[in-house]
Structure formats: structure tokens, C-alpha cells
Structure 1
């Protein structure tokens, strides 16, 4: 494969010889890329530099809105420019073209400093690397009983001062526990700052979720992971956050589909309950791409790559995943038989919309960023375009 010229060149790049996954499904067409954007999808392409994709599928680049790191590096080490670059280059080679950098719970001042450092990378996208579109704060306003891989020592209520500090940085997303004191006010403050608010790592009950949703909460973080479940109070069944999530109206939700976090039956339940509101996230960590036995950290929590997943040392909990998003779509396609068009909606179109990027990411249409992944029949990436620049795995 010959790499194309600079995407700023006036000569367009023409992707031909394959099927293009547009809104109505795969179609025989060419994609014309000019100056980093999709110029058109057409059966009569203009003259330009041609890349024959050899019958493969051209799909929208993947958008991962919940990922902590990869390739031995973590977004928490935001001052390490080379480390952040290594993550973003690693992901681009796997078809992931846009991410929200997720941060595990930490002290508020530490999180604030990390967000500022990551915003430098957001504002200066790297060539041939996934675009860091913003920051996802996974904490610190979480429930200790559902801490998972978060350090209980740093979890806290969303008091006005802490919320003002973090909301003032306008993170793209925050996950919080709706039952914590001050949660509804915090939701309101973050929504005003342009932040998507999600419920997660929580002991919430139905009323807690309803109150947070009324305040503006719109998303649910990794179903079945860090969610309270059904309890009995005498003879009465009281739904937890999990059941309230599955029965919700209007909320979007995510699953980690690495074949480790959730068995197939639970993935099928999520799909049937949420339908077009369900997305896939990787929750990948620095352990993604590392060999068995490798150790890595989520803030102050030490984890290990074990049996194809991350586990918290000394605890009965997963420590994020060690699988990137493209492999999750392959798993869902090969093992569960989910349709390709639906999978790219879950892994690209819908997450882009949730993150407020749906006007330029997640679709193959004129005017959108030329973020594309060209995949084999098993959905393994053959090549990726990030803003019109070709990246080979």
C-alpha cells in the first residue's frame, strides 16, 4: 500500500474498489477525501490519487468515549507528551480515530491539573493519530461500595467547591453517583458547562436516577460494572441502578464487550433493552497491548493483565479492559452475530453523537472529517484514515 500525499494537497484522495458503509447500509461507491474532510460519496469519482481497498468495507472511524490508555501508557500521565502520543498512534492503527481521555478518580486538584494538560493535546491534534476530543472524568463523585478499580480514599460528595473547580474546566463528560449528597446540583452545574453527565459506580435506586435525569443526566456508564442491583426490603423488590438503567427512557448506555466483563447473555439483554441507545466502549487501560502478567496503574490503584483482562491486585474487581474497541466489535460480530452496520453505529455514530461530535464525526457523508477505517470481513482493520491521513496497522 502506498501512503497518500499530504491531506492538505489540492488533489483529492479517492478510495475505490470496496463497499462504503453509509447511513442506508453498505453500498458500492467511492469516497472522495479533500483537505482532511469527506468531499463526497459517489459512483463517479473525480481524478485524484487512488487507493484501491480491494473489496473491503470502508466504515466510519471508531469513537471511544471511555478509554484510560493503551500500549503501556495512561492518560493520567498527561505531562508525558510522548506517552500520550503513543496511545493515540496505537489507537489510530486499530481503527480508533477519536477518543475522550478517561481519568480514574483522584484528588480534585490532581484531576484539574491533568485535565488542563490533556486539553493541550485536544487543542493540537497529532498527525496520523487518534484525535483526543476531550476528557471524561470517571469520578471522583462515586460510591465507595461500587468503587471497583477506583481508590475509595479519594471518593467524595460533589460539594460546590469541588464541582466548581472541575466544571470550570468544561470536561467533555463526567461519571458520578446520583445518590451522593449534592448530585443533582452538580449535574446542573456540569450541564451548564457543556459537560455530558453519566451515572456510574453507584448505589443509586430508581428515585436517585430519576432526579439526576431530571437535572440533565443523559448517559449510563458501563452497564453491570459498578451498578447497584435489585434488593429486597421485606417482600418488596426494589430496583437498583442496573434495573433502572435497563428500564430507562431516553438515556444512552454503554457496555464493555471484551468477552470478559460481560457474558453473551448480558450483552444480549442490554441490546434488547436499550436498542438504538446502546454503545460499545473499550474502558481500555495502559494494559491494552501488553503481555500477560504486565502491571499498570489506574491513578493509585495497581492492576495486572491476567487472562486477557485487567484485574485489581489484591481485590475481586476488574481493572478496566486490555482490549481496544475494534476487537470488541469483532467479538460481537463473530461470537454473537451482531450485524456490521449496527456495530459501527454502536462504535462510531452513536458515541460521536453522545459526545457532541455528531456534526463532524461518526458518519461517512460530505463535510464530515475524513475519519475512516477500512476493515476485513472479520472487522480487523486493514488501514485507517484520520482527518484524511492514511495510517497502516
Structure 2
């Protein structure tokens, strides 16, 4: 069977290091065949005119809970598909569905539904595995995580969870918790990324955690320790530790709410685009009108208020997840943090792909990699989303094709 070629023309193509003006991109059978600064000779190719807009690698969101009024803890295939379809409209082509702190039974149930949903999603963002956030977190830094279920790592429990599914890609843990270091080593042995999250750790804790495989800081600055006093002495927290450990990666919620522009600039200055992943941390209210919503499942979640472009606890004492979409992250980094567009794209594509170990097939527009592409305009409004060579969203029609 002959290949069916598609060619993107008249685009500003983003590589990890530069923009190629007027470039062309050829792909077939879901994979990139060629990228060129000039014409690519493919007379039978279907032409996709980028109309002078930017052509970017697909956005990869490695921390997302929901969107479109659905949450991954709703425990239905329909909810998984709705989240995937919602975020595809905003440029996300691949994601790590994230489950919250809950009971062992609820976590295992979400993993089982994920495995069913992975086969059902045909048009939305593809799933790359599951991210478990909690329940082994600091009570003092719990944020909107449900305190009823926060606990120390329990081998009997986490082995049951680990043995229930091969879908787990990363697990966010407070490394100062009793047993967390051993747990990190076990995760690494299984090819699962341990992340530092919702933590009151100090520098010594972080160093030991890094030595046990904790190489990523979950939603950096949010729900984690900074400089603190203990018995009159000052100690560096997780924030300072991540800056000092050059090799440590960080993910940031660049929604313009969780972190002000000056902190976004500080993180970019010290960690660079090669160690920063942009994440939505989106909950079900993403791409929905503001008002009341739920964090987590509809049956057992936490009521929140969505206002000013972010979800908050009802007493407004803390944020309760973001309502961001991936395009908003890129836009925030460019317009508020003054980050070059090529670096902002790298932080939502190549860097997260490398962090979760899929950079051999995703994250950049390179021959042989999957044809996951986003076309967006100068205002970073998504015009088309292409997943494995198929146009799954076209702004002209304002929907995913049937």
C-alpha cells in the first residue's frame, strides 16, 4: 500500500533552537518524513496551508486532572475521552492523566479505567501513562489535596497499586515522609519517575531524595517549602534545593495565577528551558465557564470556586488546581515572563518528552518522530491540532471532526 503524504506549507516552523520561516513539513503514516527550509518535492501530497502561522511540535502535558467538566477520577471512559478531546482543541497532543490523593481502591479503579480509555480515545490527546499525585504527601503542604487520605508510604498498599497496572508513568511524593526514599528506589526499578510534591522537606531531604531517583519537582513553588527556621536556624527548602541541583527538572503551572511573572522569570533564568516543563495541572473546570465546580470526582471530590481564571477553595485560602489549557501556558511565558517563543515551545514539548522518556518519538519535529503538530497564530491561538498525522481539531470548524 502506498503512503498517503501530507505536507504543511507556508509555516514558521519551530525547532528546539530556532524558527524556520516559510518552512515545509512532510509526513505520512503518522510519522514525519522530512522538514525543510525550502520546497519538498511531494506532488501527490495533501497540502495543509499554515497561512504564515507557527508550526510547532504537539504540546505535551505531563500533569493534568481534567477539563471540559470531566475529571480522570470520575472513573468513566467517557470522562477520559472528554478530557482528551477538550485539551486537543488547545494544542495538547499527548498527556499524563493525573489522579489525586484518595483510597487505594479508588486509585486502582482509576488505573483500570485508564487502560480501557486508552483504547477508546481516537481523536483527542493521546495518553502516555498515569501520574499518581499522592497520597504520600505532607499534611502541612497539602494544598487542595484531601486531608482524609494523606498518609505515609505503606509497602503493602503501594505494591498492590503497582502490581495492579503497568500504566503508571510517574508518582508524586513528599520525600521527607517515612519510607519515601525506599519507595523512590522501588519506583525507579520499575521505570516509574518519582517526583517531589506537596512537601515540607529541607535541603538535606531533597539531596537524599535526588540520590534515590526524585529528579523532578512537581508544580514548582506550589505546595512546597522555601527557606524556613527550625530551632532558630535557617534551612533551604525544596525551592532553593531545586535551584542548587542543576540536574533537577521542575514543572510549573504557567497560568499567570499560580506564579507571578517575576517568579516565572527567575525559574527560567536559573533552570533554563531544558529543565522546565510547562503543565496545566488543569481540573474539570478547564475550558468551562467560571462558577462552582469540583476538584476530583463528582461523588467524593472537593467543592471549589472558579474565578479570576483559577480554581480556589471555597474559603479562598488556597488555589485548588488550574483551569489552564496548554496554549495559555505558552502565551503566559511569552507575554508575561518575556521568554522567547522558541523556548516556551520547548518547555511544552521537547523537555516534558525527555522528562518522561518519550523523546525518541515525541517532542520535536524531527524525521522519524510521530507527526504530532500544532499550528497557532501570533497570539498563540490554536488553528489546527494534528495527532499522528490526522487533523483532530480545526479552528475553522470550531470542533473536532466527526
| TM-score interval, smaller chain | over 0.9
1:141 maps to 2:144: no
Secondary structure in structure 1 of the residue aligned to 2:321: coil
Q: 1:38 aligned to 2:21?
A: no
Verify the 8 A CA contact 1:100 1:134 in the aligned structure 2. yes
After TM superposition, give the deviation of residue 235 of structure 1 in Å. 4.8
Question: In the alignment, which residue of structure 2 is the partner of 1:5?
Answer: none
- 112-121 vs 31-40, which deviates more? 112-121
- The two structures have a TM-score, normalised by structure 2, of 0.92
Query: Matched residues in 2 for 1:245 and 1:203: separation?
Result: 13
CA-based RMSD: 1.5
- What is the distance in 2 between the residues matched to 1:273 and 1:166? 36
Structure 2 unmatched runs, 5+: 396-402
Match of 1:353 in 2: 354
Q: Is residue 18 of structure 1 aligned with residue 15 of structure 2?
A: no
Instruction: Give the conservation status (yes or no) of the 8 Å contact 1:68–1:103.
Output: yes
Stretches of structure 1 that go unaligned for 5 or more consecutive residues are 1-7
The aligned residue for residue 399 of structure 2 is none
Match status 1:94 vs 2:85: no
Q: Which moved more, 1:231-240 or 1:127-136?
A: 231-240
Question: Relative to 1, partners in 2 of residues 1:181 and 1:335: Cα closer, same or farther, differing over 3 Å?
Answer: same
Aligned partners of 1:59 and 1:374 also within 8 Å: yes
Is the partner of 1:83 in helix, strand or coil?
A: helix
Q: Distance in 2 between matches of 1:212 and 1:243?
A: 14
Q: Does residue 57 of the first structure (1) align with residue 51 of the second (2)? A: no
Q: Which residue number corresponds to residue 341 of structure 1?
A: 342
Counterpart-to-counterpart distance in 2, 1:71 and 1:23: 30
Q: Distance in 2 between matches of 1:38 and 1:217?
A: 33
Per the alignment, residue 297 of structure 1 pairs with: 295
Aligned to 1:389: 390
Deviation, structure 1 residue 125: 5.9
Distance 1:226 1:96 in 2: 25
1:226-249 alpha-carbon deviations (Å, 9 max, x no partner)? 101211235532111222122223
| Contact map agreement 2:264 2:333 (CA 8 A) in 1 | no
Q: Is 1:375 matched with 2:376?
A: yes
Whether 1:131 aligns to 2:138 is no
Question: What is the number of equivalent residue pairs in this alignment?
Answer: 384
Q: Report the alpha carbon displacement of residue 377 of structure 1 after superposing the two structures with TM.
A: 0.9
Q: SS state of the match for residue 348, structure 2? A: helix
Deviation at 1:313, TM superposition (A): 2.0
CA distance in 2, matches of 1:352, 1:24: 16
Q: CA deviation at 1:23?
A: 3.6
How far residue 54 of structure 1 moved from its aligned partner, in angstroms, is 0.8
Partner of 1:4: none
Tell me, in whole angstroms, the C-alpha distance in 2 between the residues paired with 1:89 and 1:211: 40
Residue in 1 that maps onto 2:148: 153
Label 1:234 to 1:140 Cα distance change in 2 as closer, same or farther (>3 A). Answer: closer
Distance in 1, matches of 2:381 and 2:71, equals 24
- Distance, in Å, in 2 between the alignment partners of 1:120 and 1:380 is 32
**Partner Cα separation in structure 1 for residue 365 and residue 120 of structure 2:** 21
Aligned partner of residue 336 in structure 2, secondary structure: helix
CA distance in 2, matches of 1:177, 1:233: 19
Distance 2:375 2:120 in 1: 22
Residues 1:286 and 2:284 are matched in the alignment? yes
Change beyond 3 A, Cα 1:234–1:83 = closer
8 A Cα contact 1:229 1:243, kept in partner: yes
| Cα distance, 1:385–1:125 mapped onto 2, change above 3 Å | farther
Q: Which moved more, 1:8-17 or 1:126-135?
A: 8-17
Determine helix, strand or coil for the equivalent of 1:158: coil
